[in-house]
Amino acid sequence: MSDAAADKDLVRGAVGGDLAALEELVQRHRPWIYNVALRMVWNAQDADDVAQEVLLKAVTKLATFDDRSSFRTWLHRITCNHVLSMKKRSSEERFVSFSQFASDLDAAPDLDLPDERAVPVDRALLVEEAKLGCLTAMLLGLDRRQRLAYVLTDLLGTPSSTAADLLDATPENYRQILSRGRRALHRFMQGTCGLVETRNRCRCANRTAGFIEAGHVDPEKIRFARPEAPRLAEVNERDLEALESRMDRLHRDQQRQAHFTEPPDPRAALTRFLEDPVVRGTLRLDG
């Protein structure tokens, strides 16, 4: 049975009150929603909350799903509409501009990594956490439509034609949104990030200790560097559309070193979802 056919069977079961069907449906699709949310809001707890909000919204509309169409596309459209219209999260409120972010990074002192005996994880993992956290935070410098377009197409490999439909944009308008986002992000990285331009002062290893002191990296709770999870570049098997230049590919490839991950505690997230009054009240669930 194809994934699309399986989804439709699960939807029919969930609408009919089958708890196991709803559980499986959520487990199949929550990771994609969470990974979009994480790159829209940066904070892992906020991303978990956003994923919950999207799934609750989907449940209230589940009975209206027309099984002649793709459930995944239907759910992805709900996700995109939600992340574009939701209230601003804390990280979005704090991120002022690319120029301010660049100034903050430039003003940060170069510090040695913490003593390996003083941290619970390997120091290389902390550096990776600092790098991936910073790369994700950069996305906050884009407006929401640019950010979502970049996440969908350049990070998750959604075809531009599909992504344009999800954003309710014409193909030409979508290309413009994506292009403006790419240019803004690339200008920032080219002028600030040592990963793409060796002349830049900012180095992940030199910023890690400062990020720990500021609370951006928590050695006790690794959020972005998840060695057990595949990287975005591995999840997306489809070749991305040709980009404008080698430098475009360099910027994109750095961003796609991030991991495609489950929510921090997927079982707890699922339990919280299934016990929500909206879910219980909307569907006649067994057990």
Which residues are CB-contacts of 165 (< 8 A; sequence separation ≥ 6)? 73, 77
Indicate the pLDDT class of residue 99, thresholds 50, 70 and 90: very high
Indicate the pLDDT class of residue 248, thresholds 50, 70 and 90: low
- The whole-angstrom separation of Cα 10 and Cα 31 is 17
pLDDT of residue 2: 87
pLDDT of residue 245: 52
User: Which of 64-68, 83-87, 101-105, 229-233 has the least mean pLDDT?
Assistant: 229-233
Indicate the pLDDT class of residue 242, thresholds 50, 70 and 90: very low
pLDDT of residue 251: 77
Please answer whether residues 71 and 8 qualify as being in contact, where contact means their C-beta atoms are separated by less than 8 angstroms. Answer: yes
Q: How many residues does the chain have?
A: 287
Q: Pull the structure tokens for residue 164.
A: 């344009």
- The whole-angstrom separation of Cα 287 and Cα 268 is 18
Share of the chain above pLDDT 70, in %: 94
pLDDT of residue 239: 41
> Could you report the per-residue pLDDT of 104-161, keeping only the tens digit for each?
998 888 999 999 999 999 999 999 999 999 999 999 999 999 999 999 999 999 999 9
Average pLDDT value for residue range 261-278: 85
User: Which of 1-10, 88-97, 171-180 has the least mean pLDDT?
Assistant: 1-10
Q: Pull the structure tokens for residue 226.
A: 């998840």
**3-state SS class at 119:** coil
Average pLDDT value for residue range 198-212: 95
pLDDT of residue 246: 57
Half-sphere exposure of 198 (CA within 13 A, CB side): 0
pLDDT of residue 119: 93
Q: Which of 94, 95, 76 is nearest to 37 (CA)?
A: 76
Q: What are phi and psi of 98, to 5 degrees?
A: -60, -40
pLDDT at 206 over 60: yes
With residue 9 as reference, give the H or E element that holds it: helix 3-15
- The whole-angstrom separation of Cα 45 and Cα 17 is 29
Indicate the pLDDT class of residue 241, thresholds 50, 70 and 90: very low
**DSSP codes of every residue in 166-210:** HTT--HHHHHHHHHHHHHHHHHHHHHHBTTT-TTS-B-HHHHHHH
Which residues are CB-contacts of 39 (< 8 A; sequence separation ≥ 6)? 136, 139, 147, 151, 155, 258
- The whole-angstrom separation of Cα 109 and Cα 202 is 10
- Count CB atoms within 10 A of the CB of residue 16: 13
Average pLDDT, the chain: 90
Which residues are CB-contacts of 276 (< 8 A; sequence separation ≥ 6)? 52, 56
Residue with tokens 């070749």: 239
**DSSP codes of every residue in 213-228:** HHTSS-TTS--S--TT
- The whole-angstrom separation of Cα 26 and Cα 20 is 10
pLDDT of residue 236: 62
